[in-house]
Amino acid sequence: MIPLNSLTNNQKTELRNAFTLIDGDSKDSLITKEDLVKLYKTLGIQPPRKADLEVMVATDDKTSKGLNFAQFSNIMAQQLSKLDDRTTIHNALQVFAEGSDINDLIIDVDTLKEACCSVQLGEIGSGDNRLSRATFDELVRGFVKEQSNGKKLFLASNWLDAYID
């Protein structure tokens, strides 16, 4: 689990504000199914089914009727961590996406393979720990589109959607 201390002070403040908003009129310091239903309705969105709502507020404590602030913060810290990972990888791939739409990364496979397979992984002096070309090909399999001119393109956005939560 991602520690709460990985969040900035601004993120912690925003989480507190979000928690207070979701807790709503009940002010019972818990996010309950009822709080979520009201939030969805306020946003003009059809609330999830009762079973899905129960999963959303489930805790290890079976007697609890909702999430307290610490539980909510831990869940949100995990989700923010995933977002940061995806953003970091997206930004790294963007370097190779010449003229590609920022939301639809398409990269020349050979250029990316050369870059990925030429970088030394691990400690210097620990031997040749580069990504093999065969491993690279396996990692991108199913996400390569061959053009009529023989050029192969890596559909990076699709890969991110499939492998990075």
Structure confidence at residue 102 (pLDDT)? 60
Structure confidence at residue 153 (pLDDT)? 92
Structure confidence at residue 1 (pLDDT)? 47
* DSSP designation for 152: E
Distance in angstroms (rounded) separating the CA atoms of residues 100 and 83: 21
Those residues whose C-beta lies under 8 Å from the C-beta of residue 21, and which sit 6 or more positions away, are: 39
CATH fold of the domain at 96-163: Recoverin; domain 1 (1.10.238)
Structure confidence at residue 44 (pLDDT)? 85
Q: What is the CATH number of domain 4-81?
A: 1.10.238.10
Those residues whose C-beta lies under 8 Å from the C-beta of residue 57, and which sit 6 or more positions away, are: 31, 32, 33, 36, 65, 66, 67
pLDDT in tens, the chain (165 residues): 455 677 778 888 888 899 999 998 878 899 998 999 998 888 888 888 988 888 888 877 777 788 989 888 888 887 777 666 777 888 888 888 876 666 678 899 999 999 988 887 766 666 677 888 999 999 999 999 999 999 999 998 888 888 775
Distance in angstroms (rounded) separating the CA atoms of residues 95 and 88: 11
Structure confidence at residue 58 (pLDDT)? 85
- Nearest CA to 15 out of 65, 79, 58 is that of 79
**Do the domains 96-163 and 4-81 match in fold?**
yes
The domains of the chain are located at: 4-81, 96-163
- Taken in order 94, 100, 101, 104, the sign of the CA dihedral is negative
Structure confidence at residue 99 (pLDDT)? 66
What are the φ and ψ backbone dihedral angles of 107, each rounded to 5 degrees? -130, 140
Structure confidence at residue 40 (pLDDT)? 85
- Nearest CA to 10 out of 80, 89, 60 is that of 80
